[in-house]
């Protein structure tokens, strides 16, 4: 199990995160919601290990993890494009994709069609979906996705959800996106960040109570 506890983060004296608890088992999809600027991306970077907060406790199976990106334990789709622009996709993909999942990954039409191109030659949505696919098919046991649905069309979002479902028996997921309908649909548990604290959401009305949805 991946556990995240006691995260304290401030920027320039402004408290961003102060009371965070998330646990995520293999086979579980956690949806992370919250208003703009509440600290969702920062929290994913802290779990992955690329942002150092004032304090954190992140563990996998009770073993403290300082840098989640080491040893392929945790993979992370950042909010912005991450693939180097000047390498060809069929050189990049084998570096990220689990060799045991290669046949399935490489059979996707998106990969087949664009594998000889460079990331800069794909449309925004094509690139986002390909980047997401590479993370979903990575070796990591825990996958963090920051806005996988934001730049893709509804039908592509359906496809990504289907792939998450296909991969989720083996992996734990923490996913954030402002397309909250997709998040509600795919997640086993919803966590809201509100005033720097994580809250387990039991029903949709609580999203209104905590000021995430308007209630209209």
Binding site for ligand ATP (CB under 6 A): 11, 16, 34, 36-42
Give me the sign of the Cα torsion angle 208, 214, 160, 120: negative
Residue 157: closest CA among 135, 134, 137, 186: 186
Cβ at position 147, least distance to ligand ATP in Å: 7
Rounded to 5 degrees, what are φ and ψ at 82?
A: -120, -15
Question: For residues 186 and 205, what is the distance between their CA atoms, to the nearest angstrom?
Answer: 18
Which distant-in-sequence residues (6+ apart) come within 8 Å of 99 by Cβ?
none
Cβ at position 155, least distance to ligand ATP in Å: 24
Nearer to ligand ATP, 10 or 205 (CB): 10
Cβ at position 47, least distance to ligand ATP in Å: 12
Nearer to ligand ATP, 34 or 119 (CB): 34
Nearer to ligand ATP, 41 or 132 (CB): 41
Nearer to ligand ATP, 55 or 102 (CB): 55
Cβ at position 144, least distance to ligand ATP in Å: 12
Which distant-in-sequence residues (6+ apart) come within 8 Å of 200 by Cβ?
189, 190, 191
């Amino acid at each position: 199990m991946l556990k995240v506890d006691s995260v304290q983060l401030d920027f320039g004296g402004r408290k961003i995160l102060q009371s965070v608890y998330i646990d995520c088992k293999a086979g579980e999809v956690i949806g992370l919601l919250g208003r703009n600027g509440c600290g969702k991306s920062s929290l994913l970077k802290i779990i992955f290990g690329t942002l150092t907060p004032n304090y954190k406790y992140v563990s996998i199976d009770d073993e403290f993890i300082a840098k989640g990106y080491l040893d392929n334990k945790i993979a992370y789709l950042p909010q912005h494009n991450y693939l180097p622009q000047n390498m060809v996709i069929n050189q990049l993909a084998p570096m990220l994709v689990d060799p045991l999942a290669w046949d399935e990954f490489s059979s996707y039409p998106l990969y087949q069609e664009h594998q000889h191109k460079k990331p800069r030659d794909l449309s925004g949505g094509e690139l986002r979906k390909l980047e997401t696919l590479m993370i979903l098919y990575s070796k990591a046991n825990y996958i963090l996705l920051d806005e996988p649905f934001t730049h893709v069309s509804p039908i592509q979002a359906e496809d990504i959800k289907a792939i998450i479902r296909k991969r989720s028996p083996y992996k734990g997921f923490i996913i954030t996106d402002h397309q909250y309908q997709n998040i509600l649909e795919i997640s086993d548990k919803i966590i809201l960040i509100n005033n720097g604290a994580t809250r387990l959401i039991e029903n949709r009305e609580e999203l209104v109570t905590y000021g995430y949805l308007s209630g209209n």
